Amino acid sequence: METFNGTGVSKGYAIGTAYVIEPCEKKSAAHTAGNSCEEAERLKGAVELSKRQVKDIAQKASRSLDGKNAGIIESQINFLDDPAFVGQAFTLIKGKNISAETAVSHVADSLYAAFSHIDDDYIKERAADIKDIGDRILKNLAGEKSGIDFENMPENTVLFAHDLKPSDTAQIDKSKVSAFVTEAGGRTSHTAILAKAFGIAAVVGCKGMLGNVKTGDKVITDGVSGTVLINPDEKELSKYTRISEKFKTENAKNTAAAKRAVYTKAGKRITVAANIGTINDLKTAISNGAEGVGLFRTEFLYMDRSDMPSEEEQFEVYKKAAQMLDGRPLTIRTLDIGGDKSLPYLNLPKESNPFLGLRAIRLCLKDTGIFKPQLRAILRASAFGNIQIMFPMISSLGELSEAKGVLESCKAELRRRGEAFDSCIKTGMMVEIPSAAIMADSFAGHVDFFSIGTNDLTQYTLAADRLNENVSELYNPMNPAVLKLIQMTINAAHAASIPCCMCGELASDEKAAAVLLGYGLDEFSVSPGAITETKSNLLKKASAGQ
């Protein structure tokens, strides 16, 4: 018996038979340059074939996945139409007289490297799409078969691979595959996201594992602890059989708990809301029991495209989200972009320290041509539901006052246009900079609610980049200094009789629940997939008197 440890990214347990997917060597890029027009035609044909293949995969995925997760595959079609991706490859072919393979490899590798180093989970996921699409186009250029045939796999298969492509993962039949194990990947990888959607165990980052497992081996996958056992003994098999049955029972209880409301022993109502980025995210959140949206990341409307979304386009999305929630609150965060999260069409200056640079509310106040169309779209949508506006990265009362001033000017514009909107729309702010937490009592009199963003608050408080492995042990949202800022913020909110929400990762941390309830946090806003578990955990903690 051999034991390997990785990161458990989808809770669950599987006892099954290993199926090892051997990594393929990339041979397609060796094609020599020919006539640029001929190379462009070759690329055009490979792109069209890739589109048909992805559409077929998305159609198959929609039969077993919800809208959000099937949309992960559908989003690849956008890249195949994106001038920044395929369009750039065509430009390289004609401008430098290089082969289609060389052009695709250059563009895919450049975009993958750029997306992989951005501190945003959503954008990192897009990096996997770029690599997947690039490999697909290269294989089609070479006439190679694309993808893996999963149809003939036996039941109770545990897949082992260096990494799983999004398009491959989406085609897996969950009635046959009971777990994924990969050497690469992290908590926000497509493998992790789709494993959760399928409801099967997954362990990623299990380094050195492929050289020690072969197809046909008996294996145990522990998606909770991140442990993988190869050829386990009878004692371990018996142990994990019991653990697996207990987990299934608990999981059924969690699902049932999602339909219940959370109250503390003192009778205080605790809300569990969702963090979303798309309408498809919202569909998943509602089905999982979300009581509203605590964070709508609007920057996703601005990504995967070559120009700014119009006011009308944004209005339609916000309106649809408000209507879907049917009176439940929809908190829309204004554009949080800039610095490390750049948009090619904005031509933002390169910064040596983007985390402390021109981003979020700073960018919007500097360029109201970006800010005003969004605010008008949100205001117009407020006529169709319970919408709240939230300003990100506020560090001073001056910034908050200026942002509210721009909002008032947008209200005046809409009145002149005769457009309907909620004149009493609530406005709040993210508390994610230490200065905002320290001065929370001053801010509280100028907003209708607070929302604590623990990811940045932790990073800024401890001066520890959460993506830097050299200081990763310092990044701890449960550090006493961070907790003190959180408590100060909640106390200031309640002193001013306004609610305080949390939409950072700490909100879904089981270990933090009792502390946050004790501080009096009013709302926990988490990812759609974490709603049922978070609500179940809060029900237990709240009933225990926390």
Q: 142, 165, 186: which is the final residue of a domain?
A: 142
Total domains in the fold of the chain: 3
Q: 235, 267, 285: which is the final residue of a domain?
A: 235
For residue 306, tell me if it sits in a domain.
yes
For residues 384 and 92, what is the distance between their CA atoms, to the nearest angstrom? 47
Does residue 269 sit in helix, strand or coil?
Answer: strand
503 is catalytic: yes
pLDDT, greater one: 324 or 505: 324
Q: What is the per-residue pLDDT for 63?
A: 53
Of 206, 364, 410, 503, catalytic:
503
DSSP character at residue 172:
-
Note whether 226 and 297 are same-domain residues.
no
The pLDDT tens digits for 269-287 are 999 999 998 887 898 889 8
**3-state secondary structure labels for all residues of 361-429:** HHHHHHCHHHHHHHHHHHHHHHHHCCEEEEECCCCCHHHHHHHHHHHHHHHHHHHHHCCCCCCCCEEEE
Q: Starting at the edge strand that comes first in sequence, how are the strands of the sheet with 201-204 ordered?
A: 2-5, 227-230, 218-222, 13-21, 157-161, 177-182, 201-204, 7-10
Beta bridge partners of 202: 10, 180
For residues 70 and 60, what is the distance between their CA atoms, to the nearest angstrom? 9
**Residue 361's pLDDT band (boundaries 50, 70, 90)?**
very high
Of 190, 206, 364, 500, catalytic:
190
Q: Which domain does 206 fall in, by range?
A: 2-22+148-235
Residue type, 193: I
Average pLDDT over every residue of 505-531 = 91
Give backbone dihedrals phi and psi of 276, rounded to 5 degrees, phi first.
-130, 165
Question: Does 391 score more than 80 pLDDT?
Answer: yes
Question: Does 128 score more than 80 pLDDT?
Answer: no
Q: 94, 117, 142: which is the final residue of a domain?
A: 142
Asked if residue 39 lies in contact with residue 100, where contact means CB atoms within 8 angstroms, the answer is: yes
Q: What is the per-residue pLDDT for 188?
A: 57
**Residue 68's pLDDT band (boundaries 50, 70, 90)?**
very low
For residue 222, tell me if it sits in a domain.
yes
For residue 61, tell me if it sits in a domain.
yes
Note whether 158 and 295 are same-domain residues.
no
pLDDT, greater one: 305 or 397: 397
Note whether 416 and 364 are same-domain residues.
yes
The pLDDT tens digits for 253-270 are 777 766 788 998 888 999
Does residue 295 sit in helix, strand or coil?
Answer: strand
CATH of the domain at 132: 1.10.274.10
Question: Which residue in the block uniquely carries the two structure tokens 């909770």?
Answer: 224
For residue 488, tell me if it sits in a domain.
yes
Give backbone dihedrals phi and psi of 521, rounded to 5 degrees, phi first.
-55, 135
Structure tokens at 205: 């980052």
190 is catalytic: yes
Note whether 344 and 201 are same-domain residues.
no
For residue 135, tell me if it sits in a domain.
yes
For residues 191 and 124, what is the distance between their CA atoms, to the nearest angstrom? 13
For residue 342, tell me if it sits in a domain.
yes
The pLDDT tens digits for 233-244 are 999 999 999 999
Average pLDDT, the chain: 85
pTM higher than 0.75 for the full model? no
Question: Does 28 score more than 60 pLDDT?
Answer: no
